[in-house]
Amino acid sequence: MRVPSETFSILIEESDEDLRLILTGWLDAAAVPALQGAVASARPLDVALEIDGLEFVDGDGWLGVISCEQLVAQWGGRLWVDKGIRKILELDPVTSRSPRTVIA
C-alpha cells in the first residue's frame, strides 16, 4: 500500500514479523501525520523506517520519528531506521554542506 502526498509518500510492506515503511520525498511537519498513521496501523508489530528515498528532513520530521518510536514502544515493539546513518548525515545541512577540514 502507498500513502502519497504532494511531497511525501510511504510504501508500506507488512510481514508477520514487522512493518517496513519506505519513505520518499520531504519528511516535514506536513508529512508527520501520514507517518504516524502508518505506524499506528502496525500495532503490535516492530517498525523499520527505510529513509534512502528521503530528499529532506527537518526538525519536525525527526520529532515525528521520535513520537512514532515512543508509540511503538508503548505496545512493546521497537522502531528503527534501516541503514540510516549515512543518509541522516547526507540530509543534515551542517554535515552535508560544510567543507571537510583535516587537522594534522
* Residue 7 belongs to some domain of the structure: yes
Predicted pLDDT at 16: 81
Residue 104 domain flag: no
List, for residues 27-57, the tens digit of each pLDDT value: 999 999 999 999 998 887 899 999 999 998 8
Residue 77 lies in a domain: yes
The verdict on residue 64 lying in a domain is: yes
Q: Which residues of the chain have pLDDT under 70?
A: 1-5, 85, 88, 92-104
The predicted pLDDT at position 102 comes to 41
pTM for this structure?
A: 0.78
Look at residue 9 and tell me if it is in a domain.
yes
102 within a domain of the structure (yes/no):
no
Please report whether residue 103 resides in a domain. no
For residue 85, give the CATH number of its domain: 3.30.750.24
First to last CA, the chain: 52
Does 73 map to a domain? yes
Which structural domain range is residue 23 located in? 2-97
Q: Give the Cα separation of 35 and 9 in Å (integer).
A: 9
Cell numbers 529513509 correspond to 51
| β-bridge mates for residue 25, sequence order | 8, 54
- Count how many domains the chain has: 1
